[in-house]
Amino acid sequence: MFRKLLIACLTLTLLLTACGSALPTPQPTSIPTQIPPTAAATAAAAPTTAIAPIVLTDGLGREVTLASPAQRVVSLAPSNTEILFAVGAGAQVVGRDEFSDYPEEAKSVASIGGSMGQYSLEAITALGPDLVLASGLNSPELVKSLEDLGLTVFYLPNPTTLEEMYANLLTVAQLTGHETQAVTLIESLKARVAAVDQKVAPLSSRPSVFYELDSTDPGKPYTAGPGTFVTLLIERAGGFNVGANLDSAWAPISLEQLVVYNPDMIILGDSLFGTTPESVKGRPGWQALQAVQQDRIYPFDDNLVSRPGPRLVDGLEQLAKLLHPDAFK
């Protein structure tokens, strides 16, 4: 009886699979966008000189085409939101992920979710965006679903150097029609980085730094390793990240290993979560570190180094000040 059943089921399955592949793939339907009066006004005010369509290749190797600069943008990552506002496209942002909290104006933009990797496709669709700006935080599956819904998605690649970050600024500016502003912005960012370079170059000391990301287990706190902006910026600011010795980008480091490295200072990237220099001093075993004995523990705004946008340069300047207080008065 089982065999007969098995054959019947198999046949049915085969039939259905065959039907499934024969079915036409759902065509992306264009989404009706009802542009509210305010957004329409902004759109009219924006420069509309570009007649040729904008064609750019994104971080997933997809060719993305916009007929004209995007006027209703949904940002899927805090770094993207910061870039959009920095290049002057803030007024064109109609939606942002839950964690986008900078600049202040971004908070009043409608949220489309994003905690635990769950974005609301419904909320994004309801906003009727002409561009969804994804980032390295977002999965290719999310990009695909948005694309299947007929939305234009641009996946901004995750930069690993300042140059790549500048390139991202320019890309976002091209997509939103703010190239001139972006060029000026990049010039000024480069000038600020050059100023730091100039002050750091003659210094002979290179303090070693332990950058703490998470201390849920004080016996093995998480730190940033090689290939991260934390390491890159600490080095650029005239220091050395002891986490650079690890073999992955984000990893726990044991207290024993930390005692061996004995960094000159501890920077608390987890101060946003309530870690303070006092709480570090109170941890069992941490008295063995010279940074703790000499009270060289500093709270730090991790958003300046974890969000690959223009504020990386703010992060560089603040790190340089912490590492070389005398040179950066």
Partner 1 sequence: MRRPYLWTLLFLALAVLLSLAIGSVWIPPQDLWGILKGALLKRLPAQLETFAFIVWKIRLPRTLLIALTGAALGGSGTAYQGLFRNPLADPYLIGVASGAGLGAVIAMSIKWPYSFWGLMAIPLAAFVAALLTVLIVYALARVGNSVPTTNLILAGVAFSSFATSLTSFLMLRSTGEVRRALGWLLGGASQSGWLAVLSLLPYLILGLGILVFSGHALNLLQFGDEQAQQMGLNVSRAKSIVLLAASLATAAAVAFSGIIGFIGLIVPHILRLWWGADYRRLLPLSILGGAGALLVMDVFARVVLAPQEIPVGIVTALTGAPFFLWVLRRAKNQGYW
Q: Which residues bind partner 1 (CB under 8 A)?
A: 1-2, 5-6, 8-10, 12-14, 16-17, 20, 23, 25-26, 29, 31-32, 34, 60-62, 98, 110-123, 125-126, 128, 136-137, 139-145, 148-149, 158, 227, 248-251
Closest CB to partner 1 among 1 and 201?
A: 1
Closest CB to partner 1 among 88 and 95?
A: 95
Could you please report the per-residue DSSP string of 68-118?
S--SSEEE-SHHHHHHHHHTT-GGGEEEE-TT---SGGGGGSEE-B-GGG-
CA atoms within 13 Å, Cβ hemisphere of 95: 24
Closest CB to partner 1 among 110 and 195?
A: 110
Closest CB to partner 1 among 98 and 235?
A: 98
Please say whether the beta carbons of 138 and 161 come within 8 A: no
Q: Name the residue with tokens 């089921």.
A: 9
H/E element, 322: helix 312-323
Closest contact distance (angstroms) between CB of 150 and partner 1 is 8
Closest contact distance (angstroms) between CB of 30 and partner 1 is 9
Where helices occur in 237-311 by DSSP H, the ranges are 255-261, 277-281, 290-293, 303-306
Closest CB to partner 1 among 24 and 274?
A: 24
Closest CB to partner 1 among 225 and 238?
A: 225
Q: What angle do CA 17, 19, 21 make, to 5 degrees?
A: 70
Distances (CA, A) of 249 to 137, 224, 243, 309: 15, 6, 9, 19
Please say whether the beta carbons of 42 and 89 come within 8 A: no
User: Hey, what are 56's tokens?
Assistant: 């750019």
Closest contact distance (angstroms) between CB of 121 and partner 1 is 5
Distances (CA, A) of 324 to 170, 204, 313, 316: 32, 11, 16, 12
Closest contact distance (angstroms) between CB of 323 and partner 1 is 26
Closest CB to partner 1 among 147 and 317?
A: 147
Closest contact distance (angstroms) between CB of 305 and partner 1 is 16
Closest contact distance (angstroms) between CB of 76 and partner 1 is 12
Closest contact distance (angstroms) between CB of 179 and partner 1 is 27
Closest alpha carbon to 302 in 281, 324, 279, 318: 318
